[in-house]
Amino acid sequence: MTASKLMSESEAIDRFVEDGDSVYVGYTSAAYGLCQAIVRAGKRDLEAIGGSVGPQGSYLFLSGCANLVRSGYVAAALRPGIVQDMMEDGSLKFEDYSNQAIALMLMAGALGIPFIPTRSFLGTDYLRAEYQEHPGGFLGDKKWAQMESPFDGQKFVALPALRPDVAVLHAQRADEDGNVQAWGHMGDAKWAYWAAKKVIVSVEEIVPHEVLASDPGRTVVPGFRVAAVVHMPYGAHPSGCSGYYDFDYGFQARTSTRITGSREAWQAFADEWIYGVRDRAGYIAHLREVFGQDALDGIRADAGQTPAGGVRYGYASQLRFRM
Amino acid sequence: MTHAEDYTLAELMCVVAARSFPAKGVVMLGMGLPVLAGTLAKLMHAPGISLCTEVGAFDWTPPEGLTRAPIGIHDMLLNDGSAMVSDMVDALGTLLMGGNVDLGVLGAAQVDRMGNLNTLVLGDYRQPERRLGGTGGNTEIACLARSLLTMMPQERRRFVERVDFNTSPCYITGPGSRRQAGLQPSGPNRVVSTFGVFGFDTPDGGETGSCEMVLEAVFPNMDPDIVKLETGWNLRIADEVSELEPPTVEEIALLRRLDPHGFYLVPGRY
């Protein structure tokens, strides 16, 4: 047994997120609760990272915590509003990549290699020389390189490895040692667990180690790579967590998609749902007050779907053989 | 088979896109309407296809008692009924870049004469009139899938001579340009709009032919000249333009059942 990694969300953010850090936030396994805790802690000069960056990442831009984003898709820029304005007026610097690029860059970071080749981006305008020094960018000509394979001369794009200072992720369950299990489609989260220098995970449930050890194939990161585990039911709300709850599209329509419309809309949202609550438990209590228990019941995942034929990771404990 | 009387152009586009899915093969669905069209195709027109998403769902079969199409490619519903779920390196790397995807189905803000798409920016990249959400996996799907189906509302501002920014290459600048860029051939490629269906003038995925978009079929009562009016260049019309079968009552009914919350088909909601 190692020392417990279990702590409160504010302690995890205070101890492991520093001003100036690059922070993987992602889109799937979205750690809404941890992102709101970062905003509450008033961190500064952060960079947000994710193949796609969901609305929880935009909390970091809108609150002034982050002023850089490295991504292929910024959900908050989908509609006209202040995030688009910030990207156009330079107050939010960005590097345009893609889902595949960020996923591969995290993988390269995790593998400890300096770059990784891709065939994506060939033939696109992203590679045009005059776009490499973009006024909205911050990486300059270190963003990527066009190369030929040393083996067969084929063209490819070399993407730089990415090692975020910290990753904030949400998952289904963990034990106190920080062994994390997640299931369902994972987007680029899988490699963020391995690429980030510090990993902070919020989970729906804390379970005994024996539960994880009975199904180790579902573990996405062992505890020795995890800095902090936070027990946070509904930590991904208003996005989803497979087996627990779906996206809360109603809440998103009423709040998330409107907050980029104006500074006032953002401030009203932040005052009520971020600064107005102490932590995620307070947020969920407030959700119940405003929308009733039905807001949570309506997104709850169906139970009892486990098909017959569970897997046992068995082995021959009384192994006998002849040489 | 009774033809539906009452349907919107967006519904028509989804139905025609669903009908044009191949009978089998690996299909990667992009964001937005491709998810709805793909679900319709799997249930009605092409049950043998393997639907995949860039987020990590592989060969999704709609589970028994399906109450809706997935709402976007992140929907938890895609974890139920998939043969495999994994991550983006597997989906956009092993599966897509490894050469296993037969068809990519995409939407975008703009499409041009050579089929290239733009998901990123309107106007000049360095001084944009407008930033958009971004490309997600659209870029690599266009680069690396063996063929493409693009769904695009027929509007002059969307069908442009040359995209403001080519995020997602089809035939780039014309014959040979995919190969010069280091990409494999792509095709046969299609565009389905709210007015008709387009192919491209190339027999070999972009090596020869003019590679330009050609109007091949129109929706019922649609005059090819109207399609030209909503196209930003001098659109080529095939010698024989066929008229598409209108949607059936069954197709429209199922499509609406798949969108009970109005995410896809209620104007302005998605």
Percent of chain B with pLDDT over 70: 99
Tens digit of each residue's pLDDT (9 = 90 or more) over B219-260: 988 999 999 999 999 999 999 999 999 999 999 999 999 999
Please check whether residue A91 touches B, CB under 8 A: no
Q: Which of residues 234-263 of B touch A (CB under 8 A)?
A: 261, 263
With contact defined as beta carbons under 8 Å apart, do B111 and B153 qualify? no
Residues in chain B with CB shorter than 8 Å from the CB of A243 are 79
Residue B262 falls within a domain, yes or no? Answer: no
Residue B268 falls within a domain, yes or no? Answer: no
Q: Is A310 left (phi over 0), alpha (psi -120 to 50) or beta?
A: beta
Question: Six-digit token pair at A307?
Answer: 């098909």
Residues A81-92 have a mean pLDDT of: 91
Question: Confidence class of residue A1 from pLDDT cuts 50, 70 and 90?
Answer: low
What is the Cα–Cα distance from B191 to B211, expressed in whole angstroms? 13
Tens digit of each residue's pLDDT (9 = 90 or more) over A120-129: 999 999 999 9
Q: Which residues pair with A159 in a beta bridge?
A: A116
Angle at A152 between CA A150 and CA A155, to 5 degrees: 80
Q: What was the pLDDT predicted at A304?
A: 62
Question: Six-digit token pair at B14?
Answer: 């989804």
Cβ neighbours of B233 (radius 10 Å): 15
CB contact under 8 A, B136 and A124: no
Q: What was the pLDDT predicted at B61?
A: 97
Residue B265 falls within a domain, yes or no? Answer: no
Q: To which residue do tokens 């008692």 refer?
A: B65
Q: DSSP string of chain B? A: -PBPS---HHHHHHHHHHHTS-SEEEEEE-SSHHHHHHHHIIIII-TEEEEE-TTSEEEE-PPTT--S--SSTT-GGGGSSEEEE--HIIIIIIIIITT--SEEEE--SEEETT--EE-SEEE-SSSEEEE-SB-TTHHHHHHHSSSEEEEE---TTTEESS-SS-SB-SSTTSTTHHHHHTPPP--S-EEEESSEEEEES-SSSSSSS---EEEEEE-TT--HHHHHHTSSS--EEEEEEEEPPPPBHHHHHHHHHT-TT-SSSSTT--
Write the single-letter amino acid at B253: A
Residues in chain B with CB shorter than 8 Å from the CB of A88 are 128, 130-131
Residues in chain B with CB shorter than 8 Å from the CB of A105 are none
Percent of chain A with pLDDT over 70: 98
CB contact under 8 A, A156 and B182: yes
Residue B97 falls within a domain, yes or no? Answer: yes
Half-sphere exposure of A190 (CA within 13 A, CB side): 21
What is the Cα–Cα distance from B134 to A99, expressed in whole angstroms? 10
Closest-CA distance, A115 to chain B, in angstroms, reads: 15
What is the Cα–Cα distance from B240 to B237, expressed in whole angstroms? 8
Residue B53's CATH number: 3.40.1080.10
Please check whether residue A257 touches B, CB under 8 A: no
Residues B98-106 have a mean pLDDT of: 98
Q: Which residues contact A232 (CB under 8 A, 6 or more apart)?
A: A9, A33, A34, A170, A202, A203, A204, A280
Write the single-letter amino acid at A97: Y
Residue B191 falls within a domain, yes or no? Answer: yes
Residues in chain A with CB shorter than 8 Å from the CB of B82 are 185
Q: For residue B161, indicate whether it is catalytic.
A: no
Residues B36-57 have a mean pLDDT of: 98
Interface confidence (ipTM) of the complex: 0.97
Residues in chain A with CB shorter than 8 Å from the CB of B93 are 100, 103-104
Residue A30, pLDDT > 50, answer yes
What is the Cα–Cα distance from A97 to A70, expressed in whole angstroms? 7
- Burial (0-12, 13-18, 19+ Cβ within 10 Å), B1: exposed
Q: To which residue do tokens 């995970």 refer?
A: A201
Q: Which of residues 158-177 of B touch A (CB under 8 A)?
A: 165-169, 172, 177
With contact defined as beta carbons under 8 Å apart, do A145 and A158 qualify? yes
Q: Which residues pair with A228 in a beta bridge?
A: A200
What is the Cα–Cα distance from B226 to B210, expressed in whole angstroms? 23
Tens digit of each residue's pLDDT (9 = 90 or more) over A31-77: 999 999 999 999 999 999 999 999 999 999 999 999 999 999 998 88
Tens digit of each residue's pLDDT (9 = 90 or more) over A169-182: 999 999 999 999 99
Residue B140 falls within a domain, yes or no? Answer: yes
Question: Six-digit token pair at B19?
Answer: 């009908």
CB contact under 8 A, B74 and A96: no
Q: What was the pLDDT predicted at A308?
A: 67
Residues in chain A with CB shorter than 8 Å from the CB of B79 are 183-185, 242-243
Q: Which residues of B124-163 are buried (b: 16+ CB within 10 A; e: fewer)?
A: ebeebeebbbbbbbbbbbbbbbbbbbbbbbbeeebbbeeb
Please check whether residue A48 touches B, CB under 8 A: no
What is the Cα–Cα distance from B77 to B62, expressed in whole angstroms? 9
Work out how many domains chain B is built from and give that number. 1
Q: What was the pLDDT predicted at B269?
A: 45
CB contact under 8 A, A73 and B96: no
What is the Cα–Cα distance from B2 to A44, expressed in whole angstroms? 62
What is the Cα–Cα distance from A227 to A239, expressed in whole angstroms? 24
Residue B269 falls within a domain, yes or no? Answer: no
Residue B29 falls within a domain, yes or no? Answer: yes
CB contact under 8 A, B97 and A118: yes
Please check whether residue A135 touches B, CB under 8 A: yes
Closest-CA distance, B221 to chain A, in angstroms, reads: 34
Q: Is B206 left (phi over 0), alpha (psi -120 to 50) or beta?
A: left
Domains in chain A (CATH in brackets) are: 1-115+162-303 (3.40.1080.10)
Question: Six-digit token pair at B241?
Answer: 């333009």
What is the residue range of B55's domain? 9-257
Mean pLDDT (chain A) is 94
Angle at A237 between CA B269 and CA B130, to 5 degrees: 45
With contact defined as beta carbons under 8 Å apart, do B62 and B81 qualify? yes
Write the single-letter amino acid at B67: T
With contact defined as beta carbons under 8 Å apart, do B200 and B188 qualify? yes
Residue B270, pLDDT > 90, answer no
Residue B198, pLDDT > 60, answer yes
Mean pLDDT (chain B) is 96
Angle at A299 between CA A297 and CA A301, to 5 degrees: 95
Closest-CA distance, B259 to chain A, in angstroms, reads: 13
Tens digit of each residue's pLDDT (9 = 90 or more) over A208-261: 999 999 999 999 999 999 999 999 999 999 999 999 999 999 998 888 778 889
Percent of chain B with pLDDT over 90: 92
CB contact under 8 A, B126 and A134: yes
Q: What was the pLDDT predicted at B16?
A: 97
Half-sphere exposure of B131 (CA within 13 A, CB side): 27
Residue A305, pLDDT > 80, answer no
Question: Confidence class of residue A303 from pLDDT cuts 50, 70 and 90?
Answer: confident
Closest to A75 (Cβ–Cβ): which among B57, B130, B133?
B133
What is the Cα–Cα distance from B49 to B106, expressed in whole angstroms? 16
